[in-house]
Amino acid sequence: MAEQRVDTIIRGGKVVTSSQVFEAAVAIKGEKIAVVGPENLMPKADRYIDAEGKFVLPGLIDSHVHLDGHDDYALGALAAAHAGLTTLVPFGNYALEGDETLEQAVRRTQEEVTASAVVDFAFHFILQNRPSILKTLPQAMELGIKSFKMFMTYKKRPGRMCDDDYICEAMDMVAKGGGVLQLHCESGNIIEYLENKLIADGHTHPEDFPTACPDWAEEEAINRAIKMGAATGCPTYVVHLSTQLGLERIKQAQAQGQKIWTETCPQYLLLSDAEMAKFGPMAKIGPPLRPEDGPDQDALWDGLRQGQISLVGSDHSPHPEELKKPGWDNIFVTPDGASVPFGSPGIETVAPLMYSEGVVKRGFPIWWLARVMSENPARIFGLYPRKGIIQAGSDADLLILAPGVDRVVTAADHLSTAGYSLFEGWKVSGRPWMTLLRGQVLLNDGKLEQKPGYGKFLTSESPITPLGGPVD
């Protein structure tokens, strides 16, 4: 009998799952994990990787990414790979002008990713205020898109804000196809009224912006989202949760057994409205940064600790500085009447910030990082168990993290076109020493070993309930 061999064995490190840390070796055959266990029981390998003193985590996933604008799929993938990520789940889109169907948009996006990406991609698709797009939603779901997003706000941005009846219609279809509907929960009518009032009164400085988007506007929309999800039986996902009020409403629905899940982002965990004075329009994001002396940051960290918030995503939306600068004069609208862009870059900072601020500073277990940035995103967005876990048969996506390596965040080191970071000058710990994607080394001590086109377009299955419960 021929001697059993594998391609690669990672040895000497501490393997991190979503619930524990243990010493083990990981054997890889082809694109898959073959064995996880004691090194002395491993088969022979053609290559050995020594991970002594390091953590071996499942490949990290950023599941809230916008790459249909200034950072395209190719650049976004390169930035993600350099930051230690192995999979992205961005929001696909279609033109409001013309007759492109949702099915056609999915096929076009698949071609773009396959040709240019260096990491793996799954996709959500945004359902804009164009009800006719639902005609080919079933076909899009058959192509492996199981997650869709709709906006309950941005009334002044063409095509964004959707009425409740349209949301319910989409929810019915998504539920029937075995998917999940994401909602940006802020009350658009309320925000439009408050914004217009501020403009009329001459309160248009960046520091005035959060006033137009109060915490109760998020809570109100979340309440409607929960009710619509219950009425349609559709698994519902609240993106970028920013408030204690909103979290309390979600906790109530979760306690009643509803499939309602949520995420938050580093900016809501770590920054406040005080950043508006420093960064001005660069810090204009939706929802806004919340009051420095308010309850929201502590509530969000506690939601993560208790497992009511399932994951952390970046909400990477990299509008270049020159497009946002008019907001210094009027944070709401540009001289030609257009909305000053929302969003900030984050794809290159989400992982180091969560390790540094969550694990190192606040004492969350290292396996919490694997839960909120690997397994839970994979579960909710239909990639589990192919992604998100270190076990035999799963894709050999791994992050080998070197702890105790301090560095400083600076946009000068980033690949994003934004040219700035709201976390400029922040000290972070840990370094992605090596990543593997489907069995091949992707990042090796800061250098990429794969070329654009290595990444794959991933089809998604139906969502699986994410892991919850306290992490203490």
The domains of the chain are located at 5-56+389-404+430-448, 60-380
Residue 125 burial (10 A CB sphere; 0-12, 13-18, 19+):
buried
Residue 238, token pair as written in the block: 């609240």
Q: What is the pLDDT of residue 3?
A: 65
Contact between residue 89 and residue 377 where contact means Cβ atoms under 8 Å apart: yes
Residue 46 burial (10 A CB sphere; 0-12, 13-18, 19+):
exposed
| Cα atoms in the Cβ-side hemisphere of radius 13 Å centred on 21 | 14
| The two domains 5-56+389-404+430-448 and 60-380 share their CATH topology (first three levels equal) | no
CATH superfamily of 5-56+389-404+430-448: Urease, subunit C, domain 1 (2.30.40.10)
What class has domain 60-380? alpha beta
Query: Which residues on adjacent β-strands are paired with residue 61?
Result: 87
Helices (H), ranges, 210-295? 215-232, 244-255, 266-270, 275-279
**Phi, psi dihedrals of residue 216, rounded to the nearest 5°:** -70, -20
Contact between residue 23 and residue 15 where contact means Cβ atoms under 8 Å apart: yes
Q: Is 195 helix (H, G, I), strand (E, B) or coil?
A: helix
Q: What is the pLDDT of residue 235?
A: 98
Nearest partner of 133 among 164, 163, 104, judged by Cα: 104
Could you please report the per-residue DSSP string of 260-284?
A: EEEEE-HHHHH--TTHHHHHGGGG-
Q: Is 73 helix (H, G, I), strand (E, B) or coil?
A: helix
Query: Which secondary-structure segment (H or E) carries 147?
Result: strand 147-151
Helices (H), ranges, 341-460? 350-353, 366-370, 376-380
Contact between residue 181 and residue 148 where contact means Cβ atoms under 8 Å apart: yes
Report how far apart, in Å, the C-alpha atoms of 123 and of each of 92, 113, 143, 463 are: 6, 10, 11, 13
Nearest partner of 368 among 269, 467, 296, judged by Cα: 467
Under-70 pLDDT residues of the chain? 1-3
Q: Which residues contact 18 (CB under 8 A, 6 or more apart)?
A: 58, 367, 370, 371, 374, 375, 376, 388, 389, 467
Q: What is the pLDDT of residue 97?
A: 81
Measured distance CA(427)–CA(140) in Å, rounded: 43
| Cα atoms in the Cβ-side hemisphere of radius 13 Å centred on 259 | 21
Give the pairing type, strands 236-238 and 120-121. Answer: unpaired
Report how far apart, in Å, the C-alpha atoms of 424 and of each of 81, 245, 346, 367, 412 are: 20, 29, 11, 27, 9
Measured distance CA(445)–CA(22) in Å, rounded: 24
Query: Which residues on adjacent β-strands are paired with residue 6?
Result: 45
The CA-to-CA distance between both ends of the chain, in Å, stands at: 48
Nearest partner of 377 among 137, 233, 171, 180, judged by Cα: 180
pTM more than 0.85: yes
| Cα atoms in the Cβ-side hemisphere of radius 13 Å centred on 440 | 11
Measured distance CA(50)–CA(72) in Å, rounded: 35
Query: Which secondary-structure segment (H or E) carries 118?
Result: none
